[in-house]
Structure 1
Amino acid sequence: MMESILECCAGLDVHQVTVVACVLSGPLDQRPRAEIRTFGTMTDELLELGE
């Protein structure tokens, strides 16, 4: 059995005109909270993703 060591992780799904970001967070003994947002690939939208 693997031991959980992270309380937060993120992933990006990069496409030609969009980037989908997903962040999972929460206490290790509970189901994580998921936040999923889609961003465009223009500079101002990528800067928003970075924030």
Structure 2
Amino acid sequence: MTFNTISMIGLGYIGLPTAAAFASRKIKVISEKINQHQHHNQRANSP
């Protein structure tokens, strides 16, 4: 099985080097960095 694109959520101290390792091997990386402060506020304001 081969793939040429991966998706990652979170680019912290583990996610960023992992994404860089995939990218260095010519694998397209789609990533999303989550702002924990903003995420916490959204959860607090949810019904």
| TM-score when normalising by structure 2 | 0.28
Structure with the greater relative contact order (CA < 8 A, sep ≥ 6): 1 or 2?
A: 2
Higher helix proportion (structure 1 or 2) = 2
Q: Flag the structure with higher strand content.
A: 1
| Length-normalised TM-score, structure 1 | 0.27
